[in-house]
Amino acid sequence: EKVEFVSFLEQIIERFEMNKREDIQFSKQLPSDNVYVWLDKDKVTQVLDNVISNATKYSPEGGTIHFAVKRVRQKLQVSIKDEGLGMPAHTVEKIFDRFYRVDKARSREIGGTGLGLAIAREIIEAHHGEIWAESQEGKGTTVFFTLPLMRQKRRGNK
């Protein structure tokens, strides 16, 4: 369905804001105008729920979670950046594999199945977007994804 992405994301952020730990802050950098994408709301909500809950659960020291949305060429680019545990460079691509979890001992304490990002990748690719991560051990992680923008209707077009 056709979705205005900024308000859609703000609603999800608000839901997390109500339940978040006190040691975590949220910050947002969102476009001031409307941005339309064609997406399955339930599925993309599932992606955001996992990425945002990862950002909080792998941030034992708290810190700020920074949300940004921008247009990059014909796509919408969303990024969710945390100041948490981060991970070694060679693992950033593996976290999208089924059941892969960085550092077994560490993640056993934190809890999870290692499926969240594999499902997120399937969902984003089904929307003709891409999802990837950048991370530095001890500094934090940023997860990015793109979604194709709906073409802006111009006057004279149907």
Which residues contribute to the site for Mg ion (CB under 5 A)? 50, 54, 116
Q: Which residue is nearest to Mg ion (CB)?
A: 116
48 contacts ligand ATP (rule: CB under 6 A): no
The residues near 128 (Cβ < 8 Å, ≥ 6 apart) are: 147, 148
Closest CA to 135 of 78, 81, 56, 98: 81
Q: Which residue is nearest to ligand ATP (CB)?
A: 116
Give start and end residues of each alpha helix (H) in 2-156. Answer: 5-19, 41-57, 104-110, 116-126
112 contacts ligand ATP (rule: CB under 6 A): yes
95 contacts ligand ATP (rule: CB under 6 A): yes
Minimum CB distance to ligand ATP smaller for 71 or for 139? 139
| Side chain identity at residue 3, one-letter code | V
Instruction: Report how far residue 91's alpha carbon sits from residue 69's, in angstroms, rounded to the nearest whole number.
Output: 25
Q: How near is the Cβ of 47 to ligand ATP at its closest, in Å?
A: 10
Decide if 33 contacts 144 (C-beta within 8 A).
no
117 contacts ligand ATP (rule: CB under 6 A): yes
Q: Which stretch binds ligand ATP (CB under 6 A): 13-21, 30-38, 66-74, 98-106?
A: 98-106
58 contacts ligand ATP (rule: CB under 6 A): yes
Torsion-angle region of residue 120: left (phi > 0), alpha (psi -120 to 50) or beta?
A: alpha
Where do contacts with ligand ATP occur on this chain (CB under 6 A)? Answer: 50, 54-55, 58, 82, 84-87, 95, 100-102, 107, 112-118, 141
